[in-house]
Amino acid sequence: MNHSTPAKQLDQFIEICRRNNLKITPQRTAIYQAAVNAENHPSADDIFRIVSREFPSISFDTVNRTLLTLTKIRLLTVAESYKGARRFDPNVEDHHHMHCLKCGKIVDFTSDEFNKLLAPEQLKNKFPRVFSSRVVFNGICEDCDNKG
C-alpha cells in the first residue's frame, strides 16, 4: 500500500492519468482504488472480484487490461513472484519484500540501508541502465509456521 492519504492518492491518480492522456473513468478509478486499498499484493482476479461489487458488469479483461495500463504509467508495479498469477504492487515507493514460501504472502518493509544498495561496477557494461532495486527475503510466516 501507498501510505499517503486517500485524497492525495486520488489527486496523484488523476494527475498521472491526465499527463498520459488517459481518461478518468469511474471503472479505471475504482480499479486503482481497489489496488491501493488491497491488503495483500493483489492479483488481477482479486481486483476483479472487489471491483465487481461496485460494477457488476465489469469484465475480467477490462480489469486486467486496466491494471496493465496503470503499470505502464507507473501508478502500480508488478511484484516479483515464484508461481501463480501476476501480483500487482500499489506501493511505488522504495521498499522491500518478505515472501512466505508456504502461502505466498508478500509483506512490505522499508529500509534506508537497503534503499542505498548500488548495482556492482562489473555489470555497468552489460546493464547500462538500472532503474530500481529490491531486497527479497524468503521464509515462513507466523501463520504458516503455527499450522506446521
Partner DNA sequence: TTGCATTTAAGAATAATTCTTACTTAATTA
Partner DNA sequence: TAATTAAGTAAGAATTATTCTTAAATGCAA
The closest alpha carbon to 70, from 109, 102, 42, belongs to 42
The reply on whether position 123 binds its own copies by CB under 8 A is yes
Using the rule CB under 7 A, give the single segment among 23-31, 33-41, 108-116, 126-134 that binds DNA: 23-31
**Residue from 11, 61, 80, 93 in contact with DNA (CB under 7 A):** 61
Binding mask 11-30 for its own copies (x = CB under 8 A): --------------------
The closest alpha carbon to 135, from 80, 86, 78, 72, belongs to 80
The reply on whether position 80 binds its own copies by CB under 8 A is yes
Q: Which does 2 bind (CB under 5 to 8 A by kind): its own copies, DNA, none?
A: none
3-state secondary structure of 12: helix
Identity at 35, one-letter amino acid code: A
Parallel/antiparallel/unpaired status of strands 77-79 and 87-89? antiparallel
3-state secondary structure of 43: strand
Interface residue list for its own copies (CB under 8 A): 78, 80-83, 86, 98, 100-101, 107, 109, 111, 114, 117, 119-120, 122-123, 125-142, 145
